[in-house]
Each structure stands twice: as structure tokens, then as C-alpha cells.
Amino acid sequence: MRSWDDLFTGLGHGDDAASGTTATAARPDGAEGGRWFSRFRDSLARSRRAMTAQIAVGAFDPADHATWERIEEGLIAADVGVTSTVAIVERLEAEAAAGSLSTSADLASALRRIAAELMATERSDRIDLSNELTVVMMVGVNGTGKTTTIGKVASRLSAHGHKVVVAAGDTFRAAAAEQLEVWAERSGSLFVRTKDNGDPAAVAWDAIERAKAEGADVVLLDTAGRLHTKTNLMAELEKVRRVLDQRLPGAPHETLISIDATTGQNGMRQAKEFAAAVDVDGVVLTKLDGTAKGGIAVAIAHELGIPIKLVGIGEGVDDLQPFDADDFLAALFPDDLLA
Ligand SMILES: Nc1nc2c(ncn2[C@@H]2O[C@H](COP(=O)(O)OP(=O)(O)OP(=O)(O)O)[C@@H](O)[C@H]2O)c(=O)[nH]1
Ligand SMILES: [Mg+2]
């Protein structure tokens, strides 16, 4: 097992397999896409409509200033954010001036290409799960979907034969451990917790001990999204990381930050503060099913410089998918964008 991607291939797509409905939706590149791709595309339809409502009021005319204003407004409406929007439109205008943009299909294809370039990061967009023991730590602002994502990941891992320890490092919020325990049971994972307001670093320690004792190969560590103060929270997360590394040098192998897509630019500002304090390897963009602002993915990858690895598209156990920028951008900026 080498990567996140592997967790979503090689098995039936969750309920699809169980219910006997086979995955049929075709991907634009002709590859086998599966139900998830059509759902992903549906969830972006609203973002696309928000954008085209702005853009499509007039004909696409690269020589007309109003065209560029509309494109700018459209990108902002889809929550691509000011910084990324300005970068995209500048490059589009330069290409138009060079004569390479004349039709709206040219525009859509240039949007996909430029956005993909902005979203490309130096960091690996994969996770290696081939260690003897891999520790994944989940961080992020409260309510963004950390616990739910851990539940979904635990279930994917279990389905692929991994032995998982789920650890309740959020000791601050009452009922946080109980919420996680439900997910742990559902996925057949081992569960580690401490008392309310206990030390999360002790939970991290216990989780490694338990994994070693029972031969588990993945630890998923939940953390608090909120404490009395932000400074306390960052210090706590730092301590947890130190303890993990002490018990298992190199851990955590993967720190994921969850970002709620529905909170748009505000959520991104909060995520920026988090990412500045904690070393983050990847983003889980949650609640993409409930937003007309899917363009936030472009802003996140561009402005944070952290790859989006997974997307949440619902509250159910199978509503988590690996992020594929090309698929995403094909859904956001289809050739018939202005049709
Ligand atoms: N629609 C939708 N809802 C989601 C998704 N992910 C999480 N949720 C819901 O968002 C709410 C908050 O999720 P949690 O997993 O509890 O968030 P958290 O980050 O652990 O929150 P704290 O523990 O308070 O810090 C729950 O009601 C989840 O069911 C998603 O991808 N789509
Ligand atoms: Mg939680």
C-alpha cells in the first residue's frame, strides 16, 4: 500500500460494491471514473453556476475590457479568492494579447491550465503507508471535519486490511471522544482515549504503545480545534508532535489540515494561521458537497502551497475521495463553461 490513492482503488467504491450498483460514470479522459466522479462533478455544478452567472452575461470578447471584469467577478463568485483571481486574469490577458485566446473553449482550457499551474506545489501529493507504523495527525479549526474525516479514513484503511488505532487527542471538547469512538467501532479500529481535559500528549503516547503492542500499522490521531486560547492550542499541538517523535522517530508521518469549503476565504485565513504554526503536509477539503464556492480549492493550494489530498463530499463513511486537480478543474471549468 503506497498512497492515499491506493485506498480508493482496487476495491468496490464502498456502498457501490455492497449494493451491487457498479460505477459507470465516464471520466473525460476516458478512464474508469466511478460514481465518485459524477458526484464530485455534481457538487461543483453550483460553483460553476455561480461563476457563469457572472461571466456569461455577454459574449466572450478578449478585446473588450468588460469581458475581463466579468471573468474576474466570476472567479471571485466561485471563491477563487482575490490573489489567485488576479494571477489568473493577468495571465489570461497576456495570452489573449498574444493572440492565443479567441473562443470561449480556448478560455476554459486556459483557465484549467493556468489554475493547475497555480495549484501545483513542491510537496508530494501522496502519503506513504508502507511504514511499519504510520502516524497521521489531523489538525484544523473546530467544526471543519477532523473527526469525521478520521472516521472515513479509518474505514477505508480497515477495508484494505490495515490495522488501525484511532486516538482521541481532542480532550477539550466534551463528547469529542465519544464521537470518535463511534467511528472507531464502525470501522473496526482500536480506540485510545483519556479522561476529559486529560493530556493529549499522553493520548499520543498511549496510541503508539497500543499500536506497537497490537501490531497495528496506522495511528490516526484526532486533535482539538479550539482551546481557551489559540496560543495554548498551538503549544499543545507542538507538544503532541514532540511526544510522537520521541516514541516513534519520524512521527507524525503525515499531518493533515481540514478546511471547510463552505467557510470560503474566512476559513482559509484561519487555516493559514494554523499552517504557519504547525507543519502541515496536506489539506482535506471538506463539505465540498454543500458549497457554491468550490473555487476555494484553487486559492488554498496556490496561497498555502500545500497540496489538497482528500475531499469530503458528505457526512457518510464513503463520502471521502482523493483529490485530483485535473478532474476537479475539468468539472469547474468545462469547455462549455460559457455555453
Ligand atoms: N456535508 C458535509 N458535512 C461534513 C463533511 N465533513 C464533516 N461534516 C460535518 O461537519 C460537522 C463537523 O464535523 P466534525 O468532524 O465533528 O468536525 P471537527 O473538526 O472534528 O470539529 P471539532 O471537534 O469541534 O473541532 C459534522 O456535523 C459532520 O458530519 C463533509 O464532507 N460534508
Ligand atoms: Mg472533532
The structural domains of the chain, ordered by start, are 35-119 (1.20.120.140), 134-327 (3.40.50.300)
What's the distance, CA 99 to chain centroid?
Answer: 36
pLDDT at residue 39, as a whole number: 66
Q: Whose CA is nearest to atom 29 of ligand 1?
A: 315
CA–centroid distance, 198 to ligand 2, in Å, is: 15
Strands 320-322 and 308-312: antiparallel
CA–centroid distance, 58 to ligand 1, in Å, is: 40
H helices of the chain, in order, are 4-7, 15-19, 35-55, 65-77, 82-97, 104-119, 146-159, 176-187, 200-214, 230-247, 264-277, 296-299, 325-332
Pocket test for ligand 1, best of 315, 318, 319 (most atoms within 8 A of CB): 315
Phi, psi angle pair for 337, to nearest 5°:
-50, -45
User: Among 290, 230, 237, which residue's Cα sits nearest to residue 260?
Assistant: 290
pLDDT at residue 147, as a whole number: 97
What's the pTM?
Answer: 0.89
Tell me, what amino acid is at 128?
Answer: D
Ligand 1: does its nearest atom lie under 6 Å from the Cβ of 144?
yes
Q: Which parts of the chain sit beneath pLDDT 70?
A: 1-2, 9-40, 57, 339
Interior/surface letters 100-127, b for 16+ CB within 10 angstroms, e for the rest: ebeebbbbbbbbbebbeebbeeeeebbb
Ligand 1: does its nearest atom lie under 6 Å from the Cβ of 262?
no
Ligand 1: does its nearest atom lie under 6 Å from the Cβ of 307?
no
User: Measured between alpha carbons, how far is residue 220 from residues 92, 124, 253, 282 in Å?
Assistant: 42, 20, 11, 15
Ligand 1: does its nearest atom lie under 6 Å from the Cβ of 287?
yes
CA–centroid distance, 137 to ligand 2, in Å, is: 12
CA–centroid distance, 168 to ligand 2, in Å, is: 9
pLDDT tens-digit profile of 24-61?
A: 334 444 344 555 566 667 778 888 887 888 777 677 88
pLDDT at residue 137, as a whole number: 97
Maximum distance among all alpha carbons in the chain?
68
CA–centroid distance, 25 to ligand 2, in Å, is: 33
CA–centroid distance, 310 to ligand 2, in Å, is: 17
Q: Whose CA is nearest to atom 17 of ligand 1?
A: 145
pLDDT tens-digit profile of 175-232?
A: 999 999 999 999 999 999 999 899 999 999 999 999 999 999 999 999 999 877 888 8
Q: Residue 58 class from Cβ within 10 Å (0-12 exposed, 13-18 middle, 19+ buried)?
A: exposed
User: Measured between alpha carbons, how far is residue 291 from residues 21, 61, 242, 263, 320 in Å?
Assistant: 27, 30, 36, 9, 16
- Contact between residue 70 and residue 337 where contact means Cβ atoms under 8 Å apart: no
Ligand 1: does its nearest atom lie under 6 Å from the Cβ of 303?
no
Phi, psi angle pair for 135, to nearest 5°:
-110, 125
Interior/surface letters 247-261, b for 16+ CB within 10 angstroms, e for the rest: bbeebbbbbbbbbbb
pLDDT at residue 18, as a whole number: 36
Cell of 140: 484544523
User: Among 303, 278, 2, which residue's Cα sits nearest to residue 124?
Assistant: 2
Q: Running DSSP on this structure, what letter comes out for residue 173? A: S
CA–centroid distance, 258 to ligand 2, in Å, is: 11
User: Measured between alpha carbons, how far is residue 122 from residues 87, 118, 148, 269 in Å?
Assistant: 19, 11, 28, 21
Q: Whose CA is nearest to atom 10 of ligand 1?
A: 145
Cell of 151: 472516521
- Contact between residue 320 and residue 156 where contact means Cβ atoms under 8 Å apart: yes
Ligand 1: does its nearest atom lie under 6 Å from the Cβ of 256?
no
Task: Count CA atoms closer than 13 A to 201's CA, side-chain side.
Answer: 14
Torsion of CA 249, 309, 219, 181, to 10 degrees: 150
Quick one: which atom of ligand 1 is closest to the CA of 140? 19
Beta bridge partners of 312: 320
Pocket test for ligand 1, best of 42, 139, 148 (most atoms within 8 A of CB): 148
